[in-house]
Amino acid sequence: MRLNEKYFNALMIAGLLALPLWAVVADQPFTITLVTRAVILALAAVGLNIILGIGGMVSFGHAVFFGIGGYAMGILAYHAQTYTALDLGPFSTDGTKSMPVIWLVAMILSGLVAFFIGLLSLRTSGVYFIMITLAFGQMFFYFAISWAQYGGEDGLSIYVRNDFPGLNTLAPIQFYGICFTLLCVVLFLFARLQASPFGLALNAARQTPTRVETVGLNPMRLKLLAFVLSGAITGLAGALFADLNRFVSPTMFSWQLSGELIVLIIIGGVGRLMGPVIGACVFVALEHFLGELTDFWHVYLGVVLLCIVLFGRGGLIGLLTGKEGVHV
Amino acid sequence: MSDPVLSTLNLNKSFGALKATDDVSIDLKSGEIHAIIGPNGAGKSTLIQQICGGLQPDSGRVLLNGQDVSGQSTQARARAGMGRTFQISQLCMEDTVLENAVLGVMGAEHLAWRFWRPALKRPSLRDRAEAALERVGLSDDRDTRCANLSHGQRRQLEVAVALTLSPKAFVMDEPMAGLGAEGSKRLTGFLDGLRQEAPILLVEHDMDAVFALADRISVLVYGKVIATGTADEIRTNREVRDAYLGDEA
């Protein structure tokens, strides 16, 4: 049986709406937390999918942006909760507990860092690109570990979830609503971007950069902008992730996390709109259910991943819809 | 005929001891097809690369429309009006025929930095792309993935993408490569009409096509132009016969 990809996507969205609502009725708050986790990881992976799926850049350092988002939230909220000033040279602020402000800061900072990392790493490609992005990831990881002011290795705890106007963010379903809405918005933007002239050109730059140059476009610039957009979205996800856990630590910068984001996309389908979403759901489900059974659940994740790579180049979406995916 | 549209002035390029391009000065006048022929390894591809920006010459200049483009990148030269086709098709294999053509129009119209409306729903892009496909006879295949095209169709698409650029000069690297007799003949007819739009610098191994099309022919041997002239002049040139054509031409 082959599903139309559009129906499949609608089904996924419906499922992400229905499951938490059921959890509210059945009074299963932990299920909501799990789904929220999946949705936030999906959001981070949608960001990565812009460069990995459309642009063909295998960034093994996307945890950098996830971590920057996390620490943007952590630091702003920390100063707000301790009533201490955050001195930034000429500026000084009291921090903030407002989610929209935190998101904005997270996205701008991640985008800026992505610009500089992109500027340096996009000169390379293939294995070298993977290694240089990994190196940046490790730099940020070790920086966070030694950043004693903000908890160093122990990380930072934020006691109360940040505020969103008109909502009680401590109610799991309301916080989920925020994350789900943001995911939908970003998915919509991703779909527009993919079909837009920019998306077409970026996709072409992945397939044959020579062709792109020959029609008078600069593949580097296309890729750099994609990298910045990608970083900003993953940064936003990082801020939400920190808010979900009310905790930030250097693990948000870890290379394992960078790897997981890639894995999510491969499970779901590289370059597919909903690839990261189904990937994140499968990942979180495996992590939870297999994790209950055995500490070695990663082994089984590995088997799942192996099967998908061997038998379905288009990821789960490719298997279910019968369409081959993008080849990186 | 006035100033040449495209010209090279004393181009030189060496790879170690090998002189791949030896003081090459050729020009392309408006309305003409100028063919470059020569045996394998004569440096034709190296020359094309230097003209289009893929390789930097050791010395010499490339002029397009009187403008010195020597130091410029491939994309800058494309924007200045260089319409190149490749010996080995450089197409987006996962994309459809129409998408490949639309990419060309995006480059020509500076419309790549648009993020909202889908590329294929923009009449400004689509109309021009479809017109180019129509001209090479690929309209019926516009929604076919490039990977599913026959070799001949890919060659046609390669030309169509160059057409979308509305270039000042075409630089075609073996457009007939791998085409059958029938396809070759059809493309020859098409290029024949195309020279009125923009002159064509044509590198080609298919001698029937070259002698049928070229207003002028330059013969490249060991990186050097040993002769330039009309088809008849080249056909009867002793040196050229010895070096390349043999006696049957």
**ipTM of the prediction:** 0.92
Q: Based on the domain organization, do B241 and B120 belong to the same domain?
A: no
* A325 pLDDT above the threshold of 60: no
- Is B107's CB within 8 Å of A199's CB? no
How many domains does chain A contain in total? 1
Q: Cα–Cα distance between B151 and B211 in angstroms, integer? A: 24
Q: Cα–Cα distance between A250 and B140 in angstroms, integer? A: 56
3-state SS assignment for residue B206: coil
- Provide the shortest C-alpha distance from residue A218 to chain B (in Å): 6
How many domains does chain B contain in total? 2
Of A42-46, A305-309, B80-84, B155-159, where does mean pLDDT reach its minimum? A305-309
Mean local confidence (pLDDT), A258-277? 94
Q: Given pLDDT bands bounded at 50, 70 and 90, which one contains residue A92?
A: confident
Closest CA to A266 of A204, A193, A199, A328: A328
Chain A CB contacts of B93 under 8 Å are: 207
Cβ-proximal residues to B164 (8 Å cutoff; 6+ apart), any chain? A215, B101, B102, B104, B105, B107, B108, B128, B129, B132
Does B111 reside within a domain?
yes
- Provide the shortest C-alpha distance from residue A313 to chain B (in Å): 14
Q: What percent of chain A has pLDDT over 70?
A: 98
Residues linked to residue B169 through DSSP beta bridges, in sequence order: B82
Q: Based on the domain organization, do B77 and B146 belong to the same domain?
A: no
Q: Which two tokens stand for residue A264?
A: 């999510």
Nearest CA in chain A to B164: A215
Q: Based on the domain organization, do B77 and B2 belong to the same domain?
A: yes
- Provide the shortest C-alpha distance from residue A10 to chain B (in Å): 21
Residues linked to residue B163 through DSSP beta bridges, in sequence order: none
Q: Based on the domain organization, do B134 and B73 belong to the same domain?
A: no
Does B86 reside within a domain?
no
Q: Based on the domain organization, do B249 and B176 belong to the same domain?
A: yes
3-state SS assignment for residue B86: coil
pLDDT at A5: 85
Q: Cα–Cα distance between B46 and B56 in angstroms, integer? A: 10
User: Containing domain of residue B102, as a range?
Assistant: 91-166
| Interface contact B126, partner A, CB < 8 A | no
- Provide the shortest C-alpha distance from residue B80 to chain A (in Å): 9
- Provide the shortest C-alpha distance from residue B248 to chain A (in Å): 38
Does A308 reside within a domain?
no
- Provide the shortest C-alpha distance from residue A142 to chain B (in Å): 37
| Interface contact B120, partner A, CB < 8 A | yes
Closest CA to A273 of A306, A237, A318: A318
Quick check: B2 and B30 in contact, CB under 8 A? yes
Does A284 reside within a domain?
no
| Interface contact A131, partner B, CB < 8 A | no
Q: Based on the domain organization, do B213 and B160 belong to the same domain?
A: no
Q: Which of B52, B99, B164 sits opposite A200 (nearest CB)?
A: B99
User: What CATH number is associated with residue B21?
Assistant: 3.40.50.300
Q: Based on the domain organization, do B75 and B172 belong to the same domain?
A: yes
Q: Based on the domain organization, do B203 and B246 belong to the same domain?
A: yes
Q: Domain ends where: B166, B198, B227?
A: B166
Residues linked to residue B8 through DSSP beta bridges, in sequence order: B62
Interface test with B, best of A211, A229, A233, A270 (most B CBs within 10 A): A211
Q: Which two tokens stand for residue A21?
A: 């609502």
Quick check: A280 and A269 in contact, CB under 8 A? no
* A328 pLDDT above the threshold of 60: no
Q: Which two tokens stand for residue A75?
A: 């630091």
Nearest CA in chain A to B86: A211
Q: For chains A and B, what is the number of CB pairs under 8 angstroms? A: 98
User: Helices in chain A by DSSP H: which ranges?
Assistant: 5-25, 29-49, 63-82, 99-121, 126-145, 172-195, 197-207, 209-214, 219-245, 255-268, 275-293, 297-311, 315-321
Torsion sign, CA atoms B128, B131, B136, B137 = positive
* Tens digits of residue pLDDT in A94-107: 899 999 999 999 99
Average pLDDT over chain A reads 93
Closest CA to B156 of B129, B135, B130, B126: B135
| Interface contact A309, partner B, CB < 8 A | no
DSSP per position, B94-118 = TSBHHHHHHHHHHHHHT--S--SS-
Does A12 reside within a domain?
no
Neighbours of A120 (CB within 10 A): 11
Q: Cα–Cα distance between B164 and B162 in angstroms, integer? A: 5
Neighbours of A244 (CB within 10 A): 18
3-state SS assignment for residue B22: strand
Contacts of A4-9 with CB under 8 Å at 24 or more apart are A4/A321, A5/A272, A5/A317, A5/A321, A5/A323, A8/A274, A8/A317, A8/A320, A8/A321, A9/A273, A9/A274
* A313 pLDDT above the threshold of 80: no
Cβ-proximal residues to A319 (8 Å cutoff; 6+ apart), any chain? A308, A311, A312
| Interface contact A188, partner B, CB < 8 A | no
Q: Residue B3: is it exposed, middle or buried by C-beta count within 10 angstroms (0-12/13-18/19+)?
A: exposed
* Tens digits of residue pLDDT in B164-203: 999 999 999 999 988 888 889 999 999 999 999 999 999 9
Q: Which of A193, A196, A204 sits opposite B103 (nearest CB)?
A: A204
Q: Domain ends where: B134, B166, B198?
A: B166
Interface test with A, best of B91, B100, B106, B128 (most A CBs within 10 A): B106
- Provide the shortest C-alpha distance from residue A50 to chain B (in Å): 13
User: Helices in A26-52 by DSSP H: which ranges?
Assistant: 29-49
Quick check: A8 and A321 in contact, CB under 8 A? yes
- Provide the shortest C-alpha distance from residue B136 to chain A (in Å): 18
Q: Based on the domain organization, do B153 and B174 belong to the same domain?
A: no
- Is B113's CB within 8 Å of A198's CB? yes
Token look-up 């945890």 returns A63
Q: Cα–Cα distance between A287 and A290 in angstroms, integer? A: 6
Helix axes B123-136, B97-109, angle to 10 degrees: 120
Q: What percent of chain A has pLDDT over 90?
A: 81
Chain B CB contacts of A215 under 8 Å are: 78, 103-104, 106-108, 161, 164-165
3-state SS assignment for residue A111: helix
Q: Which two tokens stand for residue B42?
A: 């004569």
User: Containing domain of residue A70, as a range?
Assistant: 37-258
Does B171 reside within a domain?
yes
Q: Domain ends where: B113, B143, B166?
A: B166
Q: Which two tokens stand for residue A288?
A: 């939870």
Angle at A267 between CA A110 and CA A184, to 5 degrees: 50
Q: Which two tokens stand for residue A41?
A: 């990881």
| Interface contact A160, partner B, CB < 8 A | no
Q: Cα–Cα distance between A288 and B18 in angstroms, integer? A: 64
Q: Cα–Cα distance between A234 and A106 in angstroms, integer? A: 9
Q: Based on the domain organization, do B122 and B183 belong to the same domain?
A: no
In a structure prediction context, what are the per-residue pLDDT tens digits for chain B, which is 249 residues long? 468 999 999 999 999 999 999 999 999 999 999 999 998 889 999 999 999 999 999 999 999 998 999 999 999 999 999 999 999 999 999 999 999 999 999 999 999 999 999 999 999 999 999 999 999 999 999 999 999 999 999 999 999 999 999 999 999 999 998 888 888 999 999 999 999 999 999 999 889 999 999 999 999 999 999 999 999 999 888 888 887 777 654
Q: Based on the domain organization, do B120 and B215 belong to the same domain?
A: no
Q: Based on the domain organization, do B130 and B184 belong to the same domain?
A: no
- Is B86's CB within 8 Å of A210's CB? yes
Interface test with A, best of B48, B90, B95 (most A CBs within 10 A): B90
Chain B CB contacts of A204 under 8 Å are: 92, 95, 103
